[in-house]
Structure 1
């Protein structure tokens, strides 16, 4: 029996990195050996409870040791990890569970009300609650009868290494990404995708076995997992987990643990630099700062450069596991505004919509090829057909983003073909919000677009036409969405309009909306 996937990484590291710390979470510290024992116990316990190879298991919770144990345990038995965003609303959790066909949910006790709301009406057969702090109880008879405690589950099994054949091309994770048609799509990340992405990261960045990586971004996003956690474990470094981001706490942990590596988004770096403890905290241990989601503002770059630090920035998406390009720190000023060069084992081209490759400086669609690119979406044949293009040079993923390559091969993103909003590192697609607003009888038409925001980079704004004979206020609109959508998706403001600018085919002209109502 041979495991070629990520589920075997920790087992191999327990010998190569014997006695070294693998994970720190609060007061808990686990060596690679201790971490590996817990992973094996969980894997065997899940097998004893009927979890089979290829079966999907969902996880709802903040950054924690249990999150990582579940990921690697499932990888060791060939099952599929489905991490859920803790900021989802109940109906959204239900959709993810139903769409993935998950039968098992592992959830933080602090997420119990959301877990209860999400499980109701699904095919979930078992729920395992992590003993991770003060319990937030929720009333639900079916869930209480079917639930178990995580520590009890782990204690019920032995630490023998599972013997399961897992191929590199086998499915490892289904990670949901919002779609332009409203419903999220499950990107299918294979063990190969995750492995090659980690190889790309350690090829482009000076990550060593002495790395101490502080995870301040949620691991249910592929950026923290793919750009931070997995490359660190591949090299045998240490991962420090924080359940949620707080800038002062992040600074404290950098100083206490001599952290060398942070993976974040512009908003988190801005909040750290603006914290009162910024000037007095010893951050001299830091050497690797990675940033994605959007460009780092010049004033933030300068604040870090004043402390002797620079950023490795990049471009990517869930579908590329997530890295596609890297802008090395030495080019942060010379190529300011660039998303960087293709990662070591990834190819980038800019093409027109027929697949014709365009010359330097000519804007087209960014297309990506490489072993880190997914093969497709879970049960989304139409999206699979439209998202890939095949020609003599192979199959390319169509990113939907517009950009160009300069004469040196550096990528510049010029616009988003899809109307995605990136707010504090979170991807928001307006179509899902617009579909919810369309349910309100008083709304004749609604369009959501992004507007600049000093703190979050970009936030949503809803333009609404009120149906004749009806009335509705901004507060009523926002209150309606609260509970139906994750809060980060809810627009921060509403403008009421007499008419919507439209194309001849009836589609709303969002660039024109931004011009009219974006200030």
Structure 2
């Protein structure tokens, strides 16, 4: 299936922008997307001529909002490839990503080409492919996103959509969003986080994405009356897929321009969304702000994904919000969702805190040993996945493909790099990244296990355990701690409290009490960099 084949046209509310209180129906969103598609279909557009023989590669440098949602839909459904980039990148990072992508055009906010400090425009002008600069903005009078295309070198205006009359074919309710894309076309290229060496390019086809969208819809029984609050960035697969799944289910999405803890509860009261999906960091931030009593029970469920959710946070979330929390497991290479716990009263296998549930829909998951042999339940090994949602392979990286993919019983599986096991009821339990496992004198220790225990301390707001070089053991255990507001904790107090809760060889040797832990834009902590952060990376 293509993305446009899953998004039906109707008069139901599709998208809400809380900052401007703009509400768009699926009819209106379709009009906006159709108008933006003319970037590629209008014969006088320079992008139309450039893309006549190939899929164009379009990057965006936009915050969350209508502009990014519509750009994604317009580029992908027109049969081209989109890569949303983090607007906070530096110029050198933009140069690297845009060069690697061989970008044909970059979409930026209005007047972006005039800003002398625009990192992305400066980067675009410096790369060999000389991508066009496309500015977009919302035209209130015509209820459309307008665009202007600028020459990559002179920045002279080459085409402005305002001079066009918006010609939209009549669309009946129930018809699908227009588009030229085929299910085998690449729709999206994302970069992995690149914890080791150069980031890898992950191509995802329409079929990959729609397969995962359908799995998400079925996992949470998404319906047209559901309203999703999209707080994950849309340059990340997590944010994109919960948005697309909501649109494919005819639900509505509330898309703030960024996550703000102070605005979450007021916007819940105003816009009545009934679910959201986020990383544990965001859940923890929200728990630090007291939920107004009248809002308890307003959410149908809360979804947690992209990193491990401490059991103490799971319990506090359910108690505070008065709704079930469902943990899921996803990654870029799988078009996001791999497994998920079931919502209460749905599915034969009940959800369980500390697990990420069962494979959903068409996804297959196995646990393998170092020789790629399948392991039994309760045996720990590497998680491997297969299914129509899984990428066909990294672009221009045969060595990574050879290392990451293998055949098992006639099917192609992807090695995730995660350690895990299935419990007796078939739920997946993650034990951490293989490259993050701490090897202390031959003892293999999961940092996730240590995090789970440390985070249950009543004064701990956030924590991360990690390995660092040690002359005696090869590696030893460090732990960074953030205390809850108004509390304090010493290294000695924590170490004393941990005795009896962790085996002696698992106890952190060094504990750091800090104000905050360094995280990525999506709320993830890179454990492998923690020893550097705390000055423990010296060779021994």
- The alpha-carbon deviation at position 316 of structure 1 amounts to 1.4
1:462 alignment partner in structure 2: none
State whether residues 105 and 124 of structure 1, in contact with CA within 8 Å, keep that contact through their aligned partners in structure 2: no
State whether residues 404 and 411 of structure 1, in contact with CA within 8 Å, keep that contact through their aligned partners in structure 2: yes
Taking the aligned partners of 2:353 and 2:389, their CA distance within structure 1 comes to 26
State whether residues 326 and 351 of structure 2, in contact with CA within 8 Å, keep that contact through their aligned partners in structure 1: no
What RMSD in Å do the two structures reach over aligned CA positions? 3.6
1:137 alignment partner in structure 2: none
1:377 alignment partner in structure 2: 394
- Secondary structure at 1:348's aligned position in 2? strand
- Secondary structure at 1:218's aligned position in 2? coil
Within 5 Å, which residues of 2 pair with 1:317-396? Answer: 317-330=331-344, 335-396=352-413
1:207 alignment partner in structure 2: 222
- Secondary structure at 1:300's aligned position in 2? helix
Taking the aligned partners of 2:423 and 2:111, their CA distance within structure 1 comes to 48
State whether residues 404 and 413 of structure 1, in contact with CA within 8 Å, keep that contact through their aligned partners in structure 2: yes
1:500 alignment partner in structure 2: 539
Q: Does 1:291 align with 2:304?
A: yes
Taking the aligned partners of 2:65 and 2:204, their CA distance within structure 1 comes to 21
- Secondary structure at 1:365's aligned position in 2? strand
Taking the aligned partners of 1:498 and 1:303, their CA distance within structure 2 comes to 35
Taking the aligned partners of 1:256 and 1:329, their CA distance within structure 2 comes to 26
Taking the aligned partners of 1:157 and 1:338, their CA distance within structure 2 comes to 54
Structure with bigger RCO (C-alpha 8 Å, 6+ apart) = 1
With over 3 angstroms needed to count, the CA separation of the structure-2 counterparts of 1:248 and 1:400, relative to structure 1, is same
With over 3 angstroms needed to count, the CA separation of the structure-2 counterparts of 1:149 and 1:241, relative to structure 1, is farther
1:476 alignment partner in structure 2: none
- The alpha-carbon deviation at position 104 of structure 1 amounts to 0.3
Q: 116, 120, 124: which one pairs with 2:121?
A: 116
- Secondary structure at 1:146's aligned position in 2? coil
Within 5 Å, which residues of 2 pair with 1:275-286? Answer: 275-276=289-290, 278-280=291-293, 282-286=295-299
- The alpha-carbon deviation at position 163 of structure 1 amounts to 7.4
How many residue pairs were aligned?
434
2:155 alignment partner in structure 1: 146
Q: Does 1:194 align with 2:213?
A: no
State whether residues 327 and 341 of structure 1, in contact with CA within 8 Å, keep that contact through their aligned partners in structure 2: yes
- Secondary structure at 1:367's aligned position in 2? strand
State whether residues 327 and 353 of structure 2, in contact with CA within 8 Å, keep that contact through their aligned partners in structure 1: no
Higher deviation after alignment, 242-251 or 39-48: 39-48
Q: Does 1:260 align with 2:274?
A: yes
With over 3 angstroms needed to count, the CA separation of the structure-2 counterparts of 1:109 and 1:419, relative to structure 1, is farther
Taking the aligned partners of 2:243 and 2:368, their CA distance within structure 1 comes to 33
2:499 alignment partner in structure 1: none
- The alpha-carbon deviation at position 371 of structure 1 amounts to 0.8
2:488 alignment partner in structure 1: none
Within 5 Å, which residues of 2 pair with 1:43-58? Answer: 43-47=37-41, 48-51=45-48, 52=51, 53-58=54-59
The CA deviation string for residues 328-359 of structure 1, in whole angstroms up to 9 with x for no partner, is 24499973211211112101000113221011
State whether residues 180 and 418 of structure 1, in contact with CA within 8 Å, keep that contact through their aligned partners in structure 2: no
With over 3 angstroms needed to count, the CA separation of the structure-2 counterparts of 1:273 and 1:149, relative to structure 1, is farther
State whether residues 345 and 370 of structure 1, in contact with CA within 8 Å, keep that contact through their aligned partners in structure 2: yes
Q: Does 1:126 align with 2:120?
A: no
State whether residues 35 and 166 of structure 2, in contact with CA within 8 Å, keep that contact through their aligned partners in structure 1: yes
- Secondary structure at 1:418's aligned position in 2? helix
- The alpha-carbon deviation at position 49 of structure 1 amounts to 2.8
* Structure 2: segments with no counterpart, 5+ residues: 140-149, 170-176, 438-446, 452-463, 467-474, 485-517
With over 3 angstroms needed to count, the CA separation of the structure-2 counterparts of 1:487 and 1:386, relative to structure 1, is closer
- Secondary structure at 2:47's aligned position in 1? coil
TM-score with structure 2 length normalisation? Answer: 0.72
With over 3 angstroms needed to count, the CA separation of the structure-2 counterparts of 1:64 and 1:450, relative to structure 1, is farther
Q: Does 1:106 align with 2:107?
A: yes
With over 3 angstroms needed to count, the CA separation of the structure-2 counterparts of 1:213 and 1:497, relative to structure 1, is closer
Q: Does 1:401 align with 2:418?
A: yes
The CA deviation string for residues 23-64 of structure 1, in whole angstroms up to 9 with x for no partner, is 111322111111111111110123333242511100111111
State whether residues 41 and 157 of structure 1, in contact with CA within 8 Å, keep that contact through their aligned partners in structure 2: no
